[in-house]
Structure 1
Amino acid sequence: MADYVIETKGLSKIYSKTKVVDSINMHVEKGKIYGLLGKNGAGKTTTMCMLLNLTYPSSGEIFLFGKSIDKYSKEIYPKIGSIIETPGFYENLTAYENLKIIAKLRGDYNPVNINSVLKIVNLDCEKSKKFKDFSLGMKQRLGIAAAIMHSPELLILDEPINGLDPFGIKEIRALLKRLSHEFGITILISSHILSEIENIADVIGFMDRGVLIEEMSREDLFKRLDKFVEFEVSNIDLAINILRELGLEENIDFTFNGEGTIRLYSNLDLRDKFNALFVRAGIDVRKVELCEENLEEFFTRFVSNN
Protein backbone atom coordinates (compact mmCIF):
# COMPACT_ATOMS: atom_id res chain seq x y z
CA MET A 1 0.00 0.00 0.00
CA ALA A 2 1.32 3.44 -0.90
CA ASP A 3 2.50 5.73 1.88
CA TYR A 4 0.45 8.89 1.28
CA VAL A 5 1.53 12.18 2.80
CA ILE A 6 -1.64 13.78 1.37
CA GLU A 7 -4.90 11.95 0.79
CA THR A 8 -8.32 13.49 0.26
CA LYS A 9 -11.68 11.73 0.01
CA GLY A 10 -14.56 13.48 -1.72
CA LEU A 11 -13.12 16.91 -0.91
CA SER A 12 -15.40 19.76 -2.01
CA LYS A 13 -15.72 23.49 -1.54
CA ILE A 14 -18.77 25.61 -2.38
CA TYR A 15 -18.74 29.41 -2.53
CA SER A 16 -22.09 31.17 -3.06
CA LYS A 17 -23.70 28.02 -4.49
CA THR A 18 -20.77 27.54 -6.90
CA LYS A 19 -18.78 24.32 -6.42
CA VAL A 20 -15.17 25.42 -6.98
CA VAL A 21 -13.73 22.08 -5.82
CA ASP A 22 -15.80 19.04 -6.69
CA SER A 23 -15.33 15.79 -4.73
CA ILE A 24 -11.63 15.32 -5.41
CA ASN A 25 -9.65 12.26 -4.33
CA MET A 26 -5.98 13.24 -4.24
CA HIS A 27 -3.05 10.94 -3.46
CA VAL A 28 0.43 12.39 -2.87
CA GLU A 29 3.07 9.77 -2.06
CA LYS A 30 5.91 10.34 0.36
CA GLY A 31 9.06 11.78 -1.23
CA LYS A 32 7.39 12.64 -4.54
CA ILE A 33 6.93 15.95 -6.33
CA TYR A 34 3.24 16.14 -7.20
CA GLY A 35 2.25 18.72 -9.80
CA LEU A 36 -1.31 20.00 -9.61
CA LEU A 37 -1.93 21.20 -13.15
CA GLY A 38 -4.83 23.32 -14.31
CA LYS A 39 -5.89 26.60 -15.87
CA ASN A 40 -6.47 29.66 -13.71
CA GLY A 41 -9.73 29.15 -11.84
CA ALA A 42 -9.49 25.36 -11.91
CA GLY A 43 -9.62 25.15 -8.09
CA LYS A 44 -5.94 24.58 -7.34
CA THR A 45 -5.47 27.38 -4.79
CA THR A 46 -8.73 26.56 -3.00
CA THR A 47 -7.62 22.94 -2.71
CA MET A 48 -4.30 23.99 -1.19
CA CYS A 49 -6.01 26.37 1.22
CA MET A 50 -8.20 23.50 2.44
CA LEU A 51 -5.15 21.27 2.88
CA LEU A 52 -3.51 23.99 4.97
CA ASN A 53 -6.66 24.58 7.04
CA LEU A 54 -6.89 28.16 5.74
CA THR A 55 -10.43 27.53 4.54
CA TYR A 56 -12.84 24.82 5.61
CA PRO A 57 -14.16 22.15 3.22
CA SER A 58 -17.86 22.06 2.46
CA SER A 59 -17.62 18.26 2.51
CA GLY A 60 -15.09 15.48 2.35
CA GLU A 61 -12.05 14.42 4.36
CA ILE A 62 -8.36 15.37 4.45
CA PHE A 63 -5.63 13.09 5.74
CA LEU A 64 -2.06 14.36 6.09
CA PHE A 65 0.68 11.92 7.07
CA GLY A 66 -2.08 9.33 7.37
CA LYS A 67 -4.01 11.28 10.01
CA SER A 68 -7.20 13.32 9.89
CA ILE A 69 -6.61 17.07 10.11
CA ASP A 70 -9.77 17.35 12.21
CA LYS A 71 -8.27 15.30 15.04
CA TYR A 72 -4.51 15.80 14.73
CA SER A 73 -4.00 19.35 13.42
CA LYS A 74 -1.58 20.36 16.21
CA GLU A 75 0.61 17.38 15.39
CA ILE A 76 0.35 17.71 11.61
CA TYR A 77 0.88 21.35 10.70
CA PRO A 78 4.33 21.88 12.28
CA LYS A 79 5.52 19.34 9.69
CA ILE A 80 4.40 21.51 6.76
CA GLY A 81 5.89 24.52 4.99
CA SER A 82 3.93 26.51 2.43
CA ILE A 83 3.69 29.47 0.10
CA ILE A 84 0.22 30.62 -0.88
CA GLU A 85 0.28 33.68 -3.14
CA THR A 86 3.26 36.09 -2.96
CA PRO A 87 5.39 35.79 0.20
CA GLY A 88 5.38 38.96 2.31
CA PHE A 89 8.61 40.34 3.79
CA TYR A 90 9.90 43.64 5.19
CA GLU A 91 11.20 45.69 2.27
CA ASN A 92 14.06 47.41 4.15
CA LEU A 93 15.46 44.29 5.79
CA THR A 94 17.92 41.72 4.46
CA ALA A 95 17.09 38.07 3.87
CA TYR A 96 18.69 37.08 7.17
CA GLU A 97 16.86 39.79 9.11
CA ASN A 98 13.52 38.79 7.64
CA LEU A 99 14.04 35.12 8.47
CA LYS A 100 15.19 36.04 11.98
CA ILE A 101 11.89 37.81 12.66
CA ILE A 102 9.88 34.85 11.33
CA ALA A 103 11.89 32.39 13.42
CA LYS A 104 11.42 34.43 16.58
CA LEU A 105 7.69 34.65 15.99
CA ARG A 106 7.61 30.86 15.66
CA GLY A 107 9.69 30.48 18.79
CA ASP A 108 12.48 28.52 17.09
CA TYR A 109 15.17 31.13 16.35
CA ASN A 110 18.51 29.54 15.56
CA PRO A 111 21.19 31.43 13.56
CA VAL A 112 22.61 28.14 12.27
CA ASN A 113 19.24 27.17 10.76
CA ILE A 114 18.87 30.55 9.05
CA ASN A 115 22.34 30.45 7.53
CA SER A 116 21.75 26.86 6.44
CA VAL A 117 18.52 27.56 4.54
CA LEU A 118 19.97 30.72 2.96
CA LYS A 119 22.76 28.53 1.61
CA ILE A 120 20.28 25.94 0.32
CA VAL A 121 18.36 28.60 -1.66
CA ASN A 122 21.59 30.33 -2.83
CA LEU A 123 21.01 33.58 -0.96
CA ASP A 124 23.93 33.25 1.45
CA CYS A 125 26.03 35.60 -0.70
CA GLU A 126 23.42 38.37 -0.56
CA LYS A 127 23.84 39.22 3.12
CA SER A 128 23.71 43.00 2.77
CA LYS A 129 21.10 43.34 0.00
CA LYS A 130 17.68 44.47 1.15
CA PHE A 131 14.51 42.69 0.12
CA LYS A 132 13.29 45.67 -1.94
CA ASP A 133 16.33 45.21 -4.21
CA PHE A 134 15.73 41.49 -4.79
CA SER A 135 14.74 40.11 -8.18
CA LEU A 136 11.44 38.23 -8.31
CA GLY A 137 13.32 34.95 -8.40
CA MET A 138 15.28 35.90 -5.27
CA LYS A 139 12.03 36.83 -3.51
CA GLN A 140 10.55 33.45 -4.36
CA ARG A 141 13.67 31.67 -3.11
CA LEU A 142 13.49 33.63 0.15
CA GLY A 143 9.85 32.55 0.45
CA ILE A 144 10.94 28.93 0.07
CA ALA A 145 13.69 29.51 2.66
CA ALA A 146 11.07 30.74 5.13
CA ALA A 147 8.91 27.71 4.33
CA ILE A 148 11.70 25.17 4.98
CA MET A 149 13.42 26.88 7.93
CA HIS A 150 11.71 24.57 10.42
CA SER A 151 12.69 21.42 8.42
CA PRO A 152 9.22 20.41 7.20
CA GLU A 153 8.41 17.02 5.74
CA LEU A 154 5.85 18.46 3.31
CA LEU A 155 6.05 21.60 1.19
CA ILE A 156 2.91 23.09 -0.42
CA LEU A 157 3.63 25.74 -3.05
CA ASP A 158 0.99 27.63 -5.02
CA GLU A 159 2.31 28.88 -8.38
CA PRO A 160 5.91 29.46 -7.16
CA ILE A 161 7.19 30.10 -10.69
CA ASN A 162 4.44 32.49 -11.76
CA GLY A 163 5.92 35.65 -13.28
CA LEU A 164 9.52 34.47 -13.25
CA ASP A 165 11.84 34.86 -16.22
CA PRO A 166 13.43 31.70 -17.72
CA PHE A 167 16.51 32.00 -15.49
CA GLY A 168 14.36 32.38 -12.37
CA ILE A 169 12.24 29.38 -13.37
CA LYS A 170 15.38 27.31 -13.86
CA GLU A 171 16.63 28.29 -10.38
CA ILE A 172 13.35 27.36 -8.66
CA ARG A 173 13.12 24.11 -10.60
CA ALA A 174 16.62 23.08 -9.55
CA LEU A 175 15.93 24.08 -5.94
CA LEU A 176 12.71 22.06 -5.69
CA LYS A 177 14.34 18.98 -7.20
CA ARG A 178 17.15 19.29 -4.67
CA LEU A 179 14.72 19.63 -1.75
CA SER A 180 12.94 16.49 -2.90
CA HIS A 181 15.87 14.30 -3.88
CA GLU A 182 18.49 15.40 -1.35
CA PHE A 183 16.36 16.29 1.67
CA GLY A 184 13.45 13.91 1.12
CA ILE A 185 10.76 16.61 1.29
CA THR A 186 7.43 15.74 -0.29
CA ILE A 187 6.30 18.63 -2.51
CA LEU A 188 2.87 19.61 -3.80
CA ILE A 189 3.23 22.33 -6.41
CA SER A 190 0.48 23.95 -8.47
CA SER A 191 0.93 25.67 -11.79
CA HIS A 192 -0.81 26.58 -15.03
CA ILE A 193 2.57 26.47 -16.82
CA LEU A 194 2.35 23.05 -18.39
CA SER A 195 5.97 22.66 -19.48
CA GLU A 196 7.28 23.36 -15.98
CA ILE A 197 5.07 20.73 -14.36
CA GLU A 198 6.24 18.31 -17.04
CA ASN A 199 9.88 19.10 -16.21
CA ILE A 200 9.66 18.80 -12.45
CA ALA A 201 6.82 16.54 -11.30
CA ASP A 202 6.98 12.81 -10.56
CA VAL A 203 3.17 12.65 -10.56
CA ILE A 204 0.71 15.02 -12.23
CA GLY A 205 -2.87 15.69 -11.17
CA PHE A 206 -4.99 17.18 -13.97
CA MET A 207 -7.58 19.60 -12.60
CA ASP A 208 -10.29 21.44 -14.50
CA ARG A 209 -13.37 23.34 -13.28
CA GLY A 210 -12.97 22.00 -9.77
CA VAL A 211 -12.61 18.36 -10.79
CA LEU A 212 -9.44 16.31 -10.37
CA ILE A 213 -9.77 14.45 -13.67
CA GLU A 214 -6.91 12.01 -13.24
CA GLU A 215 -3.58 11.45 -11.52
CA MET A 216 -0.76 9.88 -13.51
CA SER A 217 2.96 9.34 -13.19
CA ARG A 218 5.34 11.18 -15.46
CA GLU A 219 6.21 7.88 -17.11
CA ASP A 220 2.54 7.09 -17.81
CA LEU A 221 2.06 10.58 -19.21
CA PHE A 222 4.79 10.11 -21.80
CA LYS A 223 3.30 6.75 -22.80
CA ARG A 224 -0.04 8.45 -23.44
CA LEU A 225 1.23 11.31 -25.56
CA ASP A 226 -0.11 10.96 -29.07
CA LYS A 227 2.39 10.23 -31.81
CA PHE A 228 1.70 11.37 -35.33
CA VAL A 229 3.32 11.81 -38.74
CA GLU A 230 3.32 15.32 -40.14
CA PHE A 231 3.30 15.80 -43.91
CA GLU A 232 3.83 19.17 -45.55
CA VAL A 233 2.52 18.99 -49.11
CA SER A 234 2.03 21.25 -52.12
CA ASN A 235 -1.54 20.12 -52.89
CA ILE A 236 -3.39 19.42 -49.67
CA ASP A 237 -6.78 18.78 -51.31
CA LEU A 238 -5.38 16.04 -53.52
CA ALA A 239 -3.46 14.52 -50.60
CA ILE A 240 -6.64 14.43 -48.48
CA ASN A 241 -8.56 12.73 -51.30
CA ILE A 242 -5.87 10.05 -51.50
CA LEU A 243 -6.15 9.38 -47.75
CA ARG A 244 -9.95 9.21 -47.98
CA GLU A 245 -9.77 6.76 -50.88
CA LEU A 246 -7.59 4.55 -48.67
CA GLY A 247 -10.38 4.51 -46.06
CA LEU A 248 -8.89 7.00 -43.60
CA GLU A 249 -11.34 9.29 -41.80
CA GLU A 250 -10.89 12.99 -41.12
CA ASN A 251 -10.53 13.95 -37.39
CA ILE A 252 -10.01 10.29 -36.51
CA ASP A 253 -7.10 9.11 -38.66
CA PHE A 254 -5.85 12.52 -39.79
CA THR A 255 -6.29 16.28 -39.46
CA PHE A 256 -5.13 19.14 -41.67
CA ASN A 257 -4.80 22.91 -41.82
CA GLY A 258 -4.96 25.45 -44.61
CA GLU A 259 -1.19 25.79 -44.84
CA GLY A 260 -0.51 22.44 -46.48
CA THR A 261 0.09 20.40 -43.31
CA ILE A 262 -1.51 17.02 -42.63
CA ARG A 263 -1.19 15.15 -39.32
CA LEU A 264 -1.62 11.41 -39.61
CA TYR A 265 -2.58 9.62 -36.34
CA SER A 266 -3.02 6.04 -37.54
CA ASN A 267 -1.03 3.64 -39.73
CA LEU A 268 2.17 5.47 -38.81
CA ASP A 269 4.30 2.57 -40.02
CA LEU A 270 2.84 3.09 -43.52
CA ARG A 271 4.08 6.68 -43.83
CA ASP A 272 6.57 5.68 -46.55
CA LYS A 273 3.69 4.23 -48.58
CA PHE A 274 1.61 7.39 -48.18
CA ASN A 275 4.60 9.50 -49.18
CA ALA A 276 5.12 7.40 -52.32
CA LEU A 277 1.43 7.73 -53.25
CA PHE A 278 1.59 11.51 -52.85
CA VAL A 279 4.69 11.78 -55.03
CA ARG A 280 3.17 9.46 -57.68
CA ALA A 281 0.14 11.76 -57.81
CA GLY A 282 2.38 14.73 -58.58
CA ILE A 283 2.34 16.21 -55.06
CA ASP A 284 5.55 17.79 -53.78
CA VAL A 285 6.18 16.49 -50.25
CA ARG A 286 8.27 19.09 -48.45
CA LYS A 287 8.39 17.30 -45.09
CA VAL A 288 7.66 13.90 -43.55
CA GLU A 289 8.30 13.84 -39.81
CA LEU A 290 7.37 11.49 -36.96
CA CYS A 291 6.31 13.73 -34.05
CA GLU A 292 4.94 13.54 -30.51
CA GLU A 293 2.48 15.97 -28.93
CA ASN A 294 3.72 18.13 -26.06
CA LEU A 295 2.10 18.39 -22.63
CA GLU A 296 0.09 21.46 -23.60
CA GLU A 297 -1.45 19.65 -26.56
CA PHE A 298 -2.12 16.59 -24.41
CA PHE A 299 -3.72 18.67 -21.66
CA THR A 300 -6.02 20.45 -24.12
CA ARG A 301 -7.08 17.16 -25.66
CA PHE A 302 -7.36 15.40 -22.30
CA VAL A 303 -9.52 18.08 -20.67
CA SER A 304 -11.80 18.43 -23.69
CA ASN A 305 -12.46 14.67 -23.65
CA ASN A 306 -13.38 14.55 -19.95
Structure 2
Amino acid sequence: MEANGPGKIRRVYERQKTRAGGNWHSHIALLNADGTKNEVVADDADYVVYGYSVQKLYVAMCVLDKIDRGGLVNGAPLTLDTKVTLTAGIIAEGSGIFHLHKGAYGDSITVANFLTAMLLVSDNTSVRLSGLHVPALEINEILAAKGFVHTRVEPVANPNRFYLGVTTPRETHDMLYRLVNGTLLSAASTTWFLRVLRWVNGYHDGVRRDMSSDERSRVATKYGADFNTLGGSRHEAGVMFGTDGSPALTYAMFTDAHPEQNNYGATHPVVQAHSVIGRVLFDSIATTSAPSARTHHTPAPFVPYKGN
Protein backbone atom coordinates (compact mmCIF):
# COMPACT_ATOMS: atom_id res chain seq x y z
CA MET A 1 0.00 0.00 0.00
CA GLU A 2 3.01 2.29 0.42
CA ALA A 3 3.02 2.81 -3.37
CA ASN A 4 -0.15 4.91 -2.95
CA GLY A 5 0.46 5.97 0.65
CA PRO A 6 2.05 8.88 2.52
CA GLY A 7 5.52 8.33 1.07
CA LYS A 8 4.29 8.63 -2.50
CA ILE A 9 2.17 11.66 -1.64
CA ARG A 10 5.23 13.44 -0.22
CA ARG A 11 7.40 12.52 -3.20
CA VAL A 12 4.86 13.65 -5.77
CA TYR A 13 4.14 16.83 -3.83
CA GLU A 14 7.82 17.80 -3.69
CA ARG A 15 8.36 16.96 -7.36
CA GLN A 16 5.34 18.97 -8.52
CA LYS A 17 6.18 21.88 -6.23
CA THR A 18 9.67 22.14 -7.73
CA ARG A 19 8.39 21.78 -11.29
CA ALA A 20 5.63 24.38 -10.91
CA GLY A 21 7.64 27.08 -9.13
CA GLY A 22 6.45 29.78 -6.77
CA ASN A 23 6.46 29.70 -2.98
CA TRP A 24 4.39 26.83 -1.57
CA HIS A 25 2.74 26.66 1.85
CA SER A 26 0.77 23.45 2.36
CA HIS A 27 -0.83 21.00 4.75
CA ILE A 28 -2.09 17.51 3.78
CA ALA A 29 -3.42 14.96 6.28
CA LEU A 30 -5.00 11.52 6.24
CA LEU A 31 -8.01 11.27 8.57
CA ASN A 32 -8.66 8.32 10.85
CA ALA A 33 -12.03 6.86 11.80
CA ASP A 34 -11.59 7.96 15.43
CA GLY A 35 -11.29 11.61 14.41
CA THR A 36 -7.51 11.83 14.66
CA LYS A 37 -5.25 12.73 11.76
CA ASN A 38 -1.93 11.63 10.27
CA GLU A 39 0.00 14.63 8.98
CA VAL A 40 1.50 13.76 5.59
CA VAL A 41 2.74 17.16 4.35
CA ALA A 42 3.47 20.16 6.57
CA ASP A 43 5.32 22.56 4.29
CA ASP A 44 5.51 26.03 5.88
CA ALA A 45 2.02 25.21 7.16
CA ASP A 46 1.82 28.15 9.59
CA TYR A 47 2.66 30.78 7.00
CA VAL A 48 0.12 33.61 6.95
CA VAL A 49 -0.99 34.00 3.33
CA TYR A 50 -3.63 35.94 1.45
CA GLY A 51 -6.23 33.25 0.90
CA TYR A 52 -8.10 35.02 -1.89
CA SER A 53 -11.18 32.99 -2.87
CA VAL A 54 -10.34 30.10 -0.54
CA GLN A 55 -11.42 32.59 2.14
CA LYS A 56 -14.97 32.27 0.82
CA LEU A 57 -15.11 28.99 2.75
CA TYR A 58 -14.72 30.99 5.96
CA VAL A 59 -17.24 33.64 4.88
CA ALA A 60 -19.84 30.96 4.12
CA MET A 61 -19.05 29.25 7.42
CA CYS A 62 -19.70 32.49 9.33
CA VAL A 63 -23.04 33.04 7.58
CA LEU A 64 -24.09 29.47 8.38
CA ASP A 65 -22.88 29.85 11.96
CA LYS A 66 -25.09 32.91 12.39
CA ILE A 67 -28.02 30.92 11.01
CA ASP A 68 -27.26 28.09 13.46
CA ARG A 69 -27.27 30.53 16.39
CA GLY A 70 -30.55 32.16 15.38
CA GLY A 71 -28.83 35.48 14.70
CA LEU A 72 -30.94 38.44 13.62
CA VAL A 73 -30.71 40.63 10.52
CA ASN A 74 -33.01 43.66 10.47
CA GLY A 75 -34.87 42.20 13.43
CA ALA A 76 -35.62 38.84 11.83
CA PRO A 77 -33.82 35.50 12.23
CA LEU A 78 -31.32 34.83 9.45
CA THR A 79 -32.14 31.66 7.49
CA LEU A 80 -31.18 30.11 4.17
CA ASP A 81 -34.57 31.37 2.94
CA THR A 82 -33.87 35.01 3.87
CA LYS A 83 -34.16 37.14 0.74
CA VAL A 84 -32.13 40.06 -0.54
CA THR A 85 -32.51 42.12 -3.71
CA LEU A 86 -29.72 41.99 -6.26
CA THR A 87 -29.11 45.66 -7.08
CA ALA A 88 -26.60 47.33 -9.40
CA GLY A 89 -24.81 48.85 -6.41
CA ILE A 90 -23.95 45.48 -4.87
CA ILE A 91 -22.40 43.99 -8.01
CA ALA A 92 -18.71 43.07 -7.95
CA GLU A 93 -16.81 42.21 -11.10
CA GLY A 94 -14.43 39.29 -11.58
CA SER A 95 -15.33 35.68 -10.91
CA GLY A 96 -18.92 34.56 -10.65
CA ILE A 97 -22.25 34.91 -12.41
CA PHE A 98 -24.25 37.81 -10.98
CA HIS A 99 -22.22 40.54 -12.71
CA LEU A 100 -23.09 38.91 -16.05
CA HIS A 101 -26.70 40.13 -15.70
CA LYS A 102 -25.41 43.52 -16.93
CA GLY A 103 -28.26 45.87 -16.15
CA ALA A 104 -31.00 43.29 -15.68
CA TYR A 105 -30.81 43.53 -11.91
CA GLY A 106 -33.59 43.43 -9.34
CA ASP A 107 -33.73 39.68 -8.64
CA SER A 108 -34.94 38.67 -5.18
CA ILE A 109 -32.54 35.91 -4.18
CA THR A 110 -32.11 33.84 -1.03
CA VAL A 111 -29.09 33.40 1.21
CA ALA A 112 -28.92 29.82 -0.09
CA ASN A 113 -28.77 31.19 -3.64
CA PHE A 114 -25.83 33.53 -3.13
CA LEU A 115 -23.90 31.13 -0.89
CA THR A 116 -24.23 28.45 -3.56
CA ALA A 117 -22.91 30.87 -6.18
CA MET A 118 -20.04 31.88 -3.89
CA LEU A 119 -18.95 28.31 -3.17
CA LEU A 120 -19.63 26.67 -6.53
CA VAL A 121 -18.50 29.35 -9.00
CA SER A 122 -16.63 31.66 -6.58
CA ASP A 123 -19.00 34.58 -7.16
CA ASN A 124 -17.56 37.88 -5.88
CA THR A 125 -20.91 39.65 -5.58
CA SER A 126 -21.90 36.94 -3.11
CA VAL A 127 -19.14 38.12 -0.76
CA ARG A 128 -20.79 41.55 -0.64
CA LEU A 129 -24.20 39.95 -0.13
CA SER A 130 -22.72 37.95 2.76
CA GLY A 131 -21.46 41.19 4.29
CA LEU A 132 -24.99 42.60 4.32
CA HIS A 133 -25.97 39.76 6.65
CA VAL A 134 -22.74 39.26 8.61
CA PRO A 135 -20.62 42.45 8.70
CA ALA A 136 -16.84 42.30 8.61
CA LEU A 137 -16.30 42.82 12.34
CA GLU A 138 -18.83 40.12 13.15
CA ILE A 139 -17.09 37.71 10.78
CA ASN A 140 -13.81 38.29 12.58
CA GLU A 141 -15.52 37.85 15.96
CA ILE A 142 -16.94 34.49 14.81
CA LEU A 143 -13.53 33.39 13.53
CA ALA A 144 -11.89 34.34 16.84
CA ALA A 145 -14.61 32.61 18.87
CA LYS A 146 -14.05 29.41 16.90
CA GLY A 147 -10.34 29.49 17.73
CA PHE A 148 -8.87 30.73 14.47
CA VAL A 149 -5.88 32.86 15.42
CA HIS A 150 -4.64 34.07 12.04
CA THR A 151 -7.64 33.76 9.72
CA ARG A 152 -9.39 37.12 9.29
CA VAL A 153 -11.12 39.27 6.71
CA GLU A 154 -9.90 42.85 6.27
CA PRO A 155 -12.54 45.48 7.16
CA VAL A 156 -12.89 48.70 5.15
CA ALA A 157 -14.78 51.94 5.82
CA ASN A 158 -18.11 50.38 4.83
CA PRO A 159 -18.87 47.91 7.67
CA ASN A 160 -20.63 45.55 5.26
CA ARG A 161 -17.67 45.37 2.87
CA PHE A 162 -14.27 43.76 3.35
CA TYR A 163 -11.27 42.26 1.63
CA LEU A 164 -11.07 38.49 1.94
CA GLY A 165 -7.94 38.63 4.09
CA VAL A 166 -5.51 36.00 5.33
CA THR A 167 -5.27 32.47 6.66
CA THR A 168 -2.72 29.67 7.05
CA PRO A 169 -2.63 26.16 5.58
CA ARG A 170 -2.88 24.62 9.05
CA GLU A 171 -5.90 26.71 10.05
CA THR A 172 -7.59 25.88 6.75
CA HIS A 173 -6.98 22.19 7.45
CA ASP A 174 -8.41 22.64 10.94
CA MET A 175 -11.52 24.35 9.58
CA LEU A 176 -12.13 21.55 7.06
CA TYR A 177 -11.33 18.87 9.62
CA ARG A 178 -13.80 20.27 12.13
CA LEU A 179 -16.40 20.80 9.43
CA VAL A 180 -16.44 17.18 8.25
CA ASN A 181 -16.34 15.87 11.83
CA GLY A 182 -19.42 17.85 12.74
CA THR A 183 -17.80 20.13 15.35
CA LEU A 184 -17.85 23.43 13.42
CA LEU A 185 -21.51 23.86 12.40
CA SER A 186 -24.85 22.19 12.99
CA ALA A 187 -25.54 18.90 11.22
CA ALA A 188 -27.96 20.63 8.83
CA SER A 189 -25.50 23.40 7.91
CA THR A 190 -22.65 20.92 7.54
CA THR A 191 -24.68 18.76 5.15
CA TRP A 192 -25.76 21.80 3.12
CA PHE A 193 -22.20 23.18 2.95
CA LEU A 194 -20.64 19.91 1.79
CA ARG A 195 -23.39 19.15 -0.72
CA VAL A 196 -22.52 22.35 -2.57
CA LEU A 197 -18.74 21.90 -2.36
CA ARG A 198 -18.95 18.31 -3.66
CA TRP A 199 -21.30 19.00 -6.55
CA VAL A 200 -19.98 17.97 -9.97
CA ASN A 201 -20.53 21.41 -11.57
CA GLY A 202 -17.86 23.02 -9.41
CA TYR A 203 -14.19 23.75 -10.03
CA HIS A 204 -12.43 21.07 -12.11
CA ASP A 205 -9.15 22.56 -13.33
CA GLY A 206 -7.05 21.55 -10.32
CA VAL A 207 -7.31 18.65 -7.88
CA ARG A 208 -10.43 17.20 -9.53
CA ARG A 209 -9.26 17.50 -13.15
CA ASP A 210 -8.29 13.89 -13.84
CA MET A 211 -11.25 12.24 -12.13
CA SER A 212 -14.51 10.66 -13.18
CA SER A 213 -17.77 12.32 -12.18
CA ASP A 214 -18.22 9.77 -9.40
CA GLU A 215 -14.71 10.47 -8.12
CA ARG A 216 -15.26 14.22 -8.27
CA SER A 217 -18.37 13.85 -6.13
CA ARG A 218 -16.15 12.46 -3.37
CA VAL A 219 -14.07 15.66 -3.29
CA ALA A 220 -15.20 18.94 -1.72
CA THR A 221 -12.90 21.68 -3.00
CA LYS A 222 -12.43 25.45 -3.21
CA TYR A 223 -10.00 27.30 -5.47
CA GLY A 224 -8.51 30.77 -5.05
CA ALA A 225 -6.45 32.86 -7.49
CA ASP A 226 -5.17 36.43 -7.67
CA PHE A 227 -1.88 38.33 -7.71
CA ASN A 228 -0.07 40.96 -5.70
CA THR A 229 3.33 42.66 -5.75
CA LEU A 230 5.04 39.30 -5.14
CA GLY A 231 3.47 37.66 -8.19
CA GLY A 232 0.63 35.26 -8.88
CA SER A 233 -1.19 33.16 -6.28
CA ARG A 234 -2.94 29.87 -6.99
CA HIS A 235 -4.53 28.05 -4.06
CA GLU A 236 -6.79 25.04 -3.51
CA ALA A 237 -8.16 23.44 -0.35
CA GLY A 238 -10.64 20.68 0.33
CA VAL A 239 -11.60 17.27 1.65
CA MET A 240 -11.72 13.80 0.08
CA PHE A 241 -14.21 11.17 1.25
CA GLY A 242 -14.12 7.39 1.42
CA THR A 243 -16.46 5.09 -0.46
CA ASP A 244 -18.91 5.18 2.47
CA GLY A 245 -18.88 8.97 2.84
CA SER A 246 -16.42 9.04 5.73
CA PRO A 247 -13.90 11.94 5.64
CA ALA A 248 -10.55 10.49 4.57
CA LEU A 249 -8.12 13.29 3.66
CA THR A 250 -7.73 17.07 3.82
CA TYR A 251 -5.50 19.26 1.66
CA ALA A 252 -4.68 22.97 1.80
CA MET A 253 -2.18 24.05 -0.85
CA PHE A 254 -1.32 27.75 -1.10
CA THR A 255 1.20 29.05 -3.64
CA ASP A 256 2.21 32.69 -4.04
CA ALA A 257 5.03 34.71 -5.68
CA HIS A 258 4.61 32.85 -8.98
CA PRO A 259 5.82 34.70 -12.09
CA GLU A 260 2.81 33.58 -14.17
CA GLN A 261 0.04 35.75 -12.75
CA ASN A 262 -2.40 36.37 -15.62
CA ASN A 263 -3.24 32.78 -16.55
CA TYR A 264 -6.32 31.67 -14.63
CA GLY A 265 -6.84 28.49 -16.60
CA ALA A 266 -5.93 24.83 -16.40
CA THR A 267 -2.52 25.38 -18.04
CA HIS A 268 -1.10 27.41 -15.16
CA PRO A 269 1.89 25.43 -13.80
CA VAL A 270 0.57 25.41 -10.22
CA VAL A 271 -2.91 24.35 -11.32
CA GLN A 272 -1.35 21.56 -13.40
CA ALA A 273 0.61 20.51 -10.31
CA HIS A 274 -2.62 20.43 -8.29
CA SER A 275 -4.15 18.04 -10.82
CA VAL A 276 -1.23 15.62 -10.54
CA ILE A 277 -1.15 15.81 -6.75
CA GLY A 278 -4.94 15.47 -6.62
CA ARG A 279 -4.90 12.23 -8.54
CA VAL A 280 -2.30 10.75 -6.19
CA LEU A 281 -4.22 11.96 -3.14
CA PHE A 282 -7.42 10.38 -4.37
CA ASP A 283 -5.73 7.10 -5.28
CA SER A 284 -4.41 6.92 -1.70
CA ILE A 285 -7.98 6.86 -0.33
CA ALA A 286 -9.88 5.46 -3.35
CA THR A 287 -11.01 2.27 -1.60
CA THR A 288 -11.13 3.71 1.90
CA SER A 289 -14.16 3.14 4.11
CA ALA A 290 -14.56 3.78 7.81
CA PRO A 291 -17.95 2.57 9.10
CA SER A 292 -16.97 3.60 12.64
CA ALA A 293 -16.19 7.20 11.65
CA ARG A 294 -18.08 9.80 13.67
CA THR A 295 -19.66 11.35 10.57
CA HIS A 296 -20.55 10.33 7.01
CA HIS A 297 -21.55 12.64 4.17
CA THR A 298 -22.95 11.16 0.99
CA PRO A 299 -24.57 13.49 -1.57
CA ALA A 300 -27.22 12.39 -4.02
CA PRO A 301 -25.65 11.02 -7.23
CA PHE A 302 -25.63 13.19 -10.34
CA VAL A 303 -28.36 12.18 -12.78
CA PRO A 304 -28.79 14.04 -16.12
CA TYR A 305 -32.21 15.60 -16.63
CA LYS A 306 -33.47 15.86 -20.19
CA GLY A 307 -36.46 18.06 -19.36
CA ASN A 308 -39.97 17.95 -20.77
Normalised by the length of structure 1, the TM-score is 0.22
The higher-RCO structure (CA 8 Å, 6+ apart) is 2
* Bigger strand fraction: 1
Normalised by the length of structure 2, the TM-score is 0.22
Rg comparison, structure with higher value: 1
